[in-house]
Chain A
Amino acid sequence: MAVSEEQVRRIADLARLKPDGAAIARLTGELNGILEHVRALERLDVEGPEDTVHGSNGAITYRDPDLEPDGLVAGAPGDRAPDWRNGFFVVPRLPALDGGADEDRGAP
């Protein structure tokens, strides 16, 4: 199954990339070329094996409670920010979810 330009546009949208029309066409061709190669995986029976998602097989360890936050000794967190005002990172106005007041959206 090949990906269409429409799908490539949707993926670019998800990835917050904005290739122009020519780039979409080129990417569609390239992605299909790569996916053609990847298709080799379909020949394998993968019913048996477990998933390998980590680089090693250890369990997680907990942080030393005495560990200190690293870095940022030299300046403010916004020193590298394109727009930093009054201690805030600043971006163009987002549509507020509740009509203008502070949005305490939290994790969805």
Chain B
Amino acid sequence: MSEVARTATPTDGGGMEAVIGLEIHVQLRTVQKLFCPDSTRFGDAPNTHVCPVCLGLPGALPVLNGEAVGLALRTALAFGCTIHPTSIFARKNYFYPDLPKGYQISQFEQPIATDGRFAVEHGGGVKEVRVRRIHMEEDAGKSLHDRFSRSTAVDLNRTGTPLIELVSEPDLRSPSEVRAYLQQVKQVLEYLDVSDCNMEEGSLRVDANVSIRPAGAAGLGTKTELKNMNSFSGVEKALGVEIRRQRGIVAEGGSVEHITLLWDEVRGEVRPMRSKEESHDYRYFPDPDLPPLVVSAERIEAVRAELPEMPVTRRERFVRDLGLPEYDAEVLTSTRELADYFESVAAAVGDPKQASNWVMGPVLALSKDRGTAVDAFPVGAEALAGLVRLVQEGVVSRNVGKEVLGKMVERGESADAIVEAEGLAQIQDTSRLEGWVDEVLDAHPDEVARFREGEKRLQGYFMGEVMKASKGKADPAEVARLLGRKLNA
């Protein structure tokens, strides 16, 4: 191949289509490691979450974490996979300084689940991507090359963290489709609460394999493998570059070589991995330290019964049963926390559209200002519902309500308490309102006359004057009613 290929938008040159499959590594959010009781916590001092098992000391043995199996099962069911009653842990043998045992415990010939499917929405349509398999494995440690001048530093805190690898069939056809797939897979994983899905911390990692072929052809071209992509946009860009590179080769009459390529985010290039690093013969064989993993039908059904509602289903329900517009439903179901929050508010106020307006408007705006997700928003669903009810009942206006929400965030007090303490309640008493209305009309006889001659837009002027006179506390609806009656009398 040529030395490097530069970032560019893929063009649909030569009637060739891309064929892309993905391998997604997902760190499961267990408290302990997969085969030993060390913490999986990220970001601590190096080599502080290690024990004889994950250090690969002589004589240490692995014992399986049942929590990780539960999370793997949950994921497999959500992706429509067949769960295998018996699966086998195997050893994948290779030497690397951050792989203490000299092998990684993984699943090879008999993974926990196979044959799933996932519907991806992209470009206005829905496409089904087949999931070939989901298997469980342990993570490796980290090799750091910038700590010492001529040495590599090895941190084994991550060693043994549980992973699942979700392998798709080569059903994806473009970088943007891949991106949509990744975003929607991530959304589902978050709904399932099986992983942090944090790409910066490495809890979600993506490798791609890609080939090209004449559009519509049945066979597969020679694929290359793409690694080292640290974001979804990186995946999208890297695939674009690689597809273009392959098209260039084919256009010049060459043939694509089966190699592994590394994405260089900074330079926007793909580079071939050294051939030596590729010459792996992993010598997989069943791990004799771990008897077969047997999952009963009862266990599978119990996990299935506890599966949360998936984002697409929930979105459809919000539209169908709660009468929300498509757009609202999509925004509100973007994360499970947001959808849960919204539903609690909606249930408490009995008006989904009102709840949606509040959550999609002020709540998301305030969250964004604070740079936090909705689950860290200090005003709980019940408290927000309290505020929405005050607005519904006309105790405060919608605008005052927004101010009250800001104060609730700052002070952690209830809407009632703030409205009470600051005297923000609207005045609805007809005699007091009539007093202000009469005062304003009496003070502006010219305007009244002009109004009566047809200058109806002066209604807003009178309204503003009445609100001013009441120091903003008059109930605008009632004032409008009174003004209408008196001016049109």
The number of residues on chain A lying at the interface, defined by a beta carbon within 8 Å of a beta carbon of chain B, is 48
Q: Which residues of A contact B (CB under 8 A)?
A: 14, 16, 51, 53-56, 58-63, 65, 67-72, 76-78, 83, 85-108
B291 touches A56 (CB 8 A): yes
Task: Identify the stretch in B282-290, B346-354, B405-413 within 8 Å (CB) of chain A at 4 or more residues.
Answer: B282-290
What would 30 A/B residue contacts be, using CB atoms closer than 8 Å?
A14-B283, A53-B88, A53-B285, A54-B286, A58-B291, A60-B89, A60-B291, A60-B293, A60-B294, A61-B64, A62-B69, A63-B63, A63-B64, A63-B65, A63-B66, A67-B37, A67-B63, A69-B37, A69-B51, A69-B52, A70-B52, A70-B60, A78-B47, A87-B47, A89-B153, A90-B148, A94-B97, A97-B227, A97-B262, A108-B94
Contacts of A58 in B (CB 8 A): 291
Main secondary structure of the interface of B (DSSP, over half): loop
The docked-state distance in angstroms from the alpha carbon of A65 to that of B223 is 43
A90 touches B66 (CB 8 A): no
Main secondary structure of the interface of A (DSSP, over half): loop
Contacts of A56 in B (CB 8 A): 291
The number of residues on chain B lying at the interface, defined by a beta carbon within 8 Å of a beta carbon of chain A, is 70
Query: B38 within 8 Å of A by Cβ?
Result: yes
Q: Which residues of B contact A (CB under 8 A)?
A: 25, 32, 36-38, 45-48, 50-53, 55, 57, 60, 63-67, 69, 88-89, 94-95, 97-98, 104, 106, 137-140, 142-148, 150-156, 158, 163, 202, 205, 227-228, 230, 262, 264, 273-274, 277, 281, 283, 285-286, 288, 290-294
B67 touches A65 (CB 8 A): yes
Supposing A89-B156, A97-B262 touch, asked if A107 and B52 sit within 8 A by C-beta, the answer is no
The docked-state distance in angstroms from the alpha carbon of A92 to that of B150 is 7
Task: Report which of A65, A77, A97, A107 forms a contact with B50, defined as CB distance below 8 A.
Answer: A77
Chain A nearest CB, measured from B234 CB (Å): 11
B140 touches A90 (CB 8 A): no
The docked-state distance in angstroms from the alpha carbon of A87 to that of B267 is 33
The docked-state distance in angstroms from the alpha carbon of A91 to that of B152 is 5
**Which A residue sits closest to B143, measured CB to CB?**
A103
A91 touches B154 (CB 8 A): yes
B55 touches A77 (CB 8 A): yes
The docked-state distance in angstroms from the alpha carbon of A77 to that of B60 is 14
Contacts of A108 in B (CB 8 A): 94, 104
Contacts of A16 in B (CB 8 A): 95
Contacts of A63 in B (CB 8 A): 32, 37, 63-66
Supposing A54-B286, A97-B262 touch, asked if A106 and B140 sit within 8 A by C-beta, the answer is yes
A94 touches B291 (CB 8 A): no
B145 touches A89 (CB 8 A): no
B47 touches A72 (CB 8 A): no
**Which B residue sits closest to A56, measured CB to CB?**
B291
**Which A residue sits closest to B280, measured CB to CB?**
A108
B32 touches A65 (CB 8 A): yes
Task: Report which of B89, B95, B138, B292 forms a contact with A107, defined as CB distance below 8 A.
Answer: B138
Supposing A53-B286, A102-B142 touch, asked if A107 and B152 sit within 8 A by C-beta, the answer is no
Supposing A53-B286, A65-B67, A85-B148 touch, asked if A72 and B140 sit within 8 A by C-beta, the answer is no
The docked-state distance in angstroms from the alpha carbon of A108 to that of B282 is 11
B66 touches A59 (CB 8 A): no
A97 touches B228 (CB 8 A): yes
Contacts of A90 in B (CB 8 A): 148, 151-154
Contacts of B53 in A (CB 8 A): 69-70
**Which A residue sits closest to B52, measured CB to CB?**
A71
Chain B nearest CB, measured from A51 CB (Å): 8
